[in-house]
Every structure is written in C-alpha cells, then in structure tokens.
Amino acid sequence: MKHQESLSKEQIQKIFDFTRQKYVKYYDVQIELVDHIAEEIQARRAQDPSLSFDDAMYQVYKSFGIFGFSKVQEEKVKQIEQYWGKRIGRHLLSYLTLPKLLMSIGLTIGFSLVTRFIHALHWDLSYAVLGAALAYIIWIIFTVRKIKSKTQKLHSNGQRLLSVDAFVAATTMTLPIGASLLNVVSFTSDSTLIINIILPIIFSLLTILTYCMIYDFPPMLEADIRQRYGHMDLSDRKITVA
C-alpha cells in the first residue's frame, strides 16, 4: 500500500473555501464533504505523486456528477427541516394530549368565563376578536424579527448552521397558522357557540402557541446546538435564543 501524505491545515481550509465557492453554505454539509474530498485527494496523490493538490481537488469535485454538491446539500436540508417540523409539531400536539391536555382545557374554561362575562355586559365581542387578531399579528411580526436577529448571531463567518435555519423556518411557519385560527369565527353565526366554545378554544390555542414560542422552543434549539455542534468552538457565539 502506498503511503498517503496527510493534508495540512491550510489545505483543509482550502477545501472548505472550495465547497463554499460551490454554493455549499451549510457547515453541516461542508464538514462531511471536506473529509471525503481530503481522503480522496490523499488517495489520488498517493497513486500519482505528480498530481497537484488543486488538480486532485477538482477531479474529486467532478466525480460528484453533474449536480455536484447541490444534491448532497438538498437532501441534508430536507432531512433537518423535516426533523424540526416533526419536533415542533409533536410538541404543539402534546398540549392536546394528556397530561398537558388538562391545562389546555383549564385555559379554555378560563377564556370561556371571560367571553361570557364580556357578553353578559352586552359588549360587542367582535371588538375582542379584532383586538386579539391585531395584537397577535403585531406579536408575530415582533417575534419573527426577534428570532431572526437572535439566531443570526449563531452563524459565524462562512459557517451557517443548518439546524438553526431549519428551526427558524419551522417555528415562524406556525405563526401565520395561529393567526388564521381567528378566521374560524366567520364560519358560523351561532353566537352561543362562538362565545362558549369557539372563541375560548381559539384564545387558548393562541396562548399555548405564544407560550411555546417564548418558553419552550428556544431551549429546544439551544440543546440541539450543544448536542449537534458540540464539537465546534462555539465560545464566540451567544447560544441563548430565549
């Protein structure tokens, strides 16, 4: 077996830069490609010592086929987005199953008392719905901006963390769904049903979603970053997302 000369730190950095030039923006994909390319370069140069590092690197790139690195990145993005979609979805659904369901029911009963009280005072409930919708939309805009600005700090120079972007995509997607819940009111004109059941359920679901966005989801991302990127030097990044 021919001797394989290990690549230097500078050469490894050059491969990282090369993957970035070829539109691999995520560190998660870069790190795996760099190891593969480095191994293949070493093997090719052991076979043919006259082969330059740059030529070997280009040859390896060509061996990835016509789609280059893009197919590799595409599948990885899909995998992590599905991971966060499922995690966020499962977490929200946990409020509709025992034991958290009891809390959700309690919250709905609480809101039902409020809506009935407002109705008993002969106040127009449509103002309450309008006010809730407006407050929720303002809160959505504020929250999305906050999440984006806090998570941006987690990416460093040329090292975009895929899990962070997938988290942002999954969580911000749930917000407009929450807003559209208020539309349910327009499907019926039965005021007793709206006051006693529909509005209390919608308000409690919006409250749960808001609570999760503030208290539940950020620690989930923080734990994921520590576990997934624990091998990286994250000392220059503020992991606190909450």
Instruction: Please give the residue ranges that form the binding site for other proteins (CB under 8 A).
Output: 6-9, 12, 31-36, 38-40, 63-65, 67-68, 71-72, 74-76, 78-80, 82-83, 230-231
Contact assessment for residue 181 and residue 202, using Cβ atoms and an 8 Å cutoff = yes
Contact assessment for residue 162 and residue 77, using Cβ atoms and an 8 Å cutoff = yes
Nearest residue to 51 (alpha-carbon basis) of 42, 61, 64, 63: 42
Residue 159, SS3?
strand
Q: How far is the CB of 175 from other proteins (least distance, A)?
A: 25
Cis, peptide link before residue 219, omega less than 30° from 0: no
d(CA 164, CA 169): 9
Contact assessment for residue 67 and residue 192, using Cβ atoms and an 8 Å cutoff = no
Q: How far is the CB of 205 from other proteins (least distance, A)?
A: 29
Residue 36: C-alpha distances to residues 40, 89, 109 (Å): 6, 35, 58
Q: How far is the CB of 227 from other proteins (least distance, A)?
A: 11
Q: How far is the CB of 234 from other proteins (least distance, A)?
A: 13
Q: Position of tokens 């830069």?
A: 17
Q: State which residue, 2 or 71, has the beta carbon closest to other proteins.
A: 71
Q: State which residue, 67 or 215, has the beta carbon closest to other proteins.
A: 67
Q: State which residue, 75 or 190, has the beta carbon closest to other proteins.
A: 75
d(CA 118, CA 126): 11
Q: State which residue, 17 or 35, has the beta carbon closest to other proteins.
A: 35
Q: How far is the CB of 26 from other proteins (least distance, A)?
A: 12
Q: State which residue, 49 or 230, has the beta carbon closest to other proteins.
A: 230
